Structure 1
Amino acid sequence: MDQVPPEILLHIFEFLDGPAPSEISLHDQPSDNMLHAESDESRPLKTVSLVNKTWRALVLPSLFRHVLWRPKISSLSAFTLNPIPLLRFIEENRLDHSLVSFTLLINFFDLEADAYMITPKVRPSDLEWLWDQIFSVIDPLRFTIIARPTTLAALLSRMLFLVDAWSFDIPYHILSLARTERDPPGKVLPNEHIKTAESSAADRSAAAINYAARPRKPPTCPLFTVRPWTSLLLNEGSSIKVYRTYEFFLRRPPSILGALLGCEEPPNDTPLIPPSVVDFNYIAIFPLASHFETLLQNLPKVERLFVQLTPKPNNGILEDEEEMRQIDPGDLWMERNTSYSFLMRELTFMPDPQGNWATLRVFESGDAADKEAWEMAVQVLIRNGTKGWKVERDGVFVNDAEGEDDPGDGSQVNGHHGAPANAPERRFLEP
């Protein structure tokens, strides 16, 4: 094998590569081990890198295309100005250009925050420096955070409603930002928050003082503008446990959804989602309809909306006796049906030409495996004769708002498996 040219070896190694867990698991139930490989057999590239130094040098860029960082910290205040060893390793081995996705998984438990139902305390200046450190080194196409709801809110410098958090018992949420392509080399990003790793201590001290002198209304989190993200995914996991409580429909989950949309009381009244985001993905397992309606009433101006409100067919959560203890399955499906009725109301109602729903061109449901529910949704569109909307395939509606006028007989809503003749151009990420 030592006589095989490096180009041939690299071509062979390409066949050993596969999708990273972070690419295929974003719709699964969030957990701290969801991206953990079970054995070295499922990580052939890592095994190849252990053969010898030559093979390791060849495979290293592919091995670190998808990076998972699990910082060992006891509190968010540990994110200080100290250099991050992982970033130093990426720089020394020149892996920054080959890196495609970066996942930050924080699994520490803040005992004080949990006991008193508050978001962990952290200085905004420390978090700004964290984002600056990361993005001054890497330029990923996807950046993902897996953390407890309280931790996630603290990372975004926002507050969280935690009065009813005990009844949901949701351990982790996922927030993922992505884009389809990188900026051309040498382009200066229009973001005042970006700094280089060589920023002086005096500059950082001045920034901290400026933060203290600013009004109470916090600035937009630098994470959302540090790159021109075009897609956002929020996975809030399972809300099944809340259905065990009395009058569950009055509960409010520990969620950053309202903070992302900017539809809550200060400091959560400033939207975090930048205008560059045209693709919104919301995943949850049987969320309360009242919570889901928050998204529908405050949907940002996007062109594609993906929604998944039930577990995947192979999830097994509905067959878990312990998980379903003291829960009436009828309540779960009632909330799911109510959520979709709210959504179909928004889709079929003639939108305000200047409203947020008017920009929507594609709606995709992650629950199309429920054939009966999907057929009901199709019939709603047919019955209402909504102008522009068509069925591209199972689970996908497209709106050809600039196409031919609707003849008024519902014939525009057809073709369960074929794409419409004037389907809009696709420029979205796969969910």
Structure 2
Amino acid sequence: MSLLDLPNELISRIISFLDSPSPFDELLLHKPISWRNIKRPWQVDDPDDTTDGSLYWHDPLKQLSLTSRLARSLTLPILFKYAVLHPARLTSFLVFLKEQDLIHHVSSVVADVPGIYNHLHPAWWARLLNEVPIARLSIFAPPEVLARLADTPSCTSDAWAFDMGSQILRFDQSADEIRAQIDYDNLPNFLVARPWTKMTFNEGSSLLAYTTYEFFLRRTPSLLTTLHVNNSTAGNAMFANLLSFEFIAIFPFYNHVDEILKCIRKMEKLQRLFIKLCPEPDSTVLRDEIEAAGGHLDVNDPWNECETSWMLIAHTVVFLTMQGALEELHMDDVKVEGVRSTLESSLSARLQQWWAYGGEGSGLWRRKSTSPMAPMFALY
């Protein structure tokens, strides 16, 4: 008896063991690059693929889907659970999903939006959210495109110093909201188009800006800076609804981190905060960007900015302890062995009255069940 002779239910169960988490999550903690430039073991080039540019994630599943009509029909729901979309091909993407009865199997979409993009009416994101009940939407785009998406003026006068070609903006929504319809004739700001509950923002590396004169005066081309500087009404409404926020960057300036923290203080319902300011331990980005800059970078500057940023983060956590709902802080930088001790000791010293540390190397602080009032100076 062959595999395909088994009942469909058993075959589906066997196929499910080939499933795996979204490969996008593997890349989320690294410096963003345009999705179309990423080559991974699970990406398979297919000259006969006319499915609008969506990628098959899993190589074993892709190979299995090519063996027979039955195998294809049983693997497609898993293959397209995580889809990649180029907005200009949205119509063909939606047609394909409907023809293959996959609409309700897509749980997340990664949209790769180019630097030059014509915003159509109705907006691509509104059509996508109305027609595909996804729980997660991720967007790869340059800073100026993200600003246009949020309908706010961009802060990109110093963008040349940072060379941030792509950033990642990711939103999650609850299962109760995924079927809510957006009115095309009264289109809301993207930031409040849905009551997003979780936001992740990876703004990329600031390392190249350290090679410029008086680098600390440069303004990072960041969506959060834009929302803060312009006091965006939509941005403030979105912040106020978030339950979880993740900020990922590579050696941002401490004054920029302070701008990010001012946004975080507006997150009144926030329960979980994840922050990462250092590259992954196995990353070569520091070496690569020093080489790209011709060696004109004092390696002490990024680390000094990072240490100052940690102190600012501790003050904001105390603020959210007194005036917010924050329950968990995750500092991912403890993975960097050389700074782990400094980070753990400096934050614990400032948070120990109200927060308990999860143990060496965990990077997790959890709010104690009872939090006494903090001295006012700790709020600033």
Task: Indicate the TM-score class for this superposition, using the shorter chain for normalisation.
Answer: 0.7 to 0.9
Which of structures 1 and 2 has the bigger CA Rg? 1
Aligned AA for 2:291? E
**CA offset at residue 42 of structure 1?**
5.3
Structure 1 equivalent of residue 228 of structure 2 = 263
**CA offset at residue 32 of structure 1?**
1.3
Aligned AA for 1:341? M
- Asked if residue 342 in structure 1 is aligned to residue 312 in structure 2, the reply is yes
Aligned residues: 350
Structure 2 equivalent of residue 103 of structure 1 = 110
C-alpha root-mean-square deviation of aligned residues, in Å? 2.8
Contact 1:31 1:171 (C-alpha < 8 Å) held by counterparts: yes
Distance 1:130 1:375, change over 3 A: same
2-side partners of 1:257 and 1:4: how far apart? 53
1:400 aligns with one of 368, 372, 378: 368
**CA offset at residue 183 of structure 1?**
2.0
1:183 aligns with one of 155, 176, 180: 176
- Asked if residue 286 in structure 1 is aligned to residue 279 in structure 2, the reply is no
Give the structure-2-normalised TM-score: 0.83
The 3-state SS of whatever aligns with 2:366 is: strand
**CA offset at residue 343 of structure 1?**
1.3
Contact 1:91 1:137 (C-alpha < 8 Å) held by counterparts: no
Distance 1:243 1:59, change over 3 A: same
The 3-state SS of whatever aligns with 1:133 is: helix
Runs of 4+ that moved beyond 6 A: none
Higher helix share: 2
Distance 1:237 1:137, change over 3 A: same
1-side partners of 2:73 and 2:343: how far apart? 53
**CA offset at residue 385 of structure 1?**
6.5
- Asked if residue 370 in structure 1 is aligned to residue 370 in structure 2, the reply is no
Aligned AA for 1:361? E
Aligned AA for 1:24? E
Q: Percent identity over the alignment?
A: 27
Contact 2:29 2:248 (C-alpha < 8 Å) held by counterparts: yes
Aligned AA for 1:245? T
- Asked if residue 194 in structure 1 is aligned to residue 210 in structure 2, the reply is no
**CA offset at residue 43 of structure 1?**
1.4
1-side partners of 2:281 and 2:222: how far apart? 25
Aligned AA for 2:219? R
2-side partners of 1:100 and 1:361: how far apart? 27
- Asked if residue 252 in structure 1 is aligned to residue 219 in structure 2, the reply is yes
| Pairing of 1:125-144 with structure 2 (within 5 A) | 126=120, 129-144=123-138
1:126-148 Cα offsets, whole Å, 9 max, x none, are 46542331112111121100011
**CA offset at residue 326 of structure 1?**
0.9
Structure 2 equivalent of residue 313 of structure 1 = 281
Distance 1:351 1:285, change over 3 A: closer
| Pairing of 1:88-237 with structure 2 (within 5 A) | 88-107=95-114, 109-110=115-116, 122=119, 126=120, 129-179=123-173, 181-183=174-176, 189=180, 194-195=182-183, 204=185, 207=186, 221-226=189-194, 228-237=195-204
- Asked if residue 380 in structure 1 is aligned to residue 353 in structure 2, the reply is no
1:180-202 Cα offsets, whole Å, 9 max, x none, are x5128xx974xxx714xxx7xxx
Distance 1:91 1:382, change over 3 A: closer
Distance 1:46 1:383, change over 3 A: closer
Distance 1:37 1:383, change over 3 A: closer
Please say which of residues 282-291 and 18-27 is displaced more in the overlay. Answer: 18-27
Distance 1:292 1:137, change over 3 A: same
Aligned AA for 2:204? G
Distance 1:146 1:385, change over 3 A: closer
Any gaps of 5 or more consecutive residues in structure 1? 74-82, 111-119, 212-219, 407-431
**CA offset at residue 360 of structure 1?**
1.5
2:7 aligns with one of 5, 8, 19: 5
Distance 1:121 1:251, change over 3 A: farther
Any gaps of 5 or more consecutive residues in structure 2? 45-56, 374-380
- Asked if residue 44 in structure 1 is aligned to residue 14 in structure 2, the reply is no
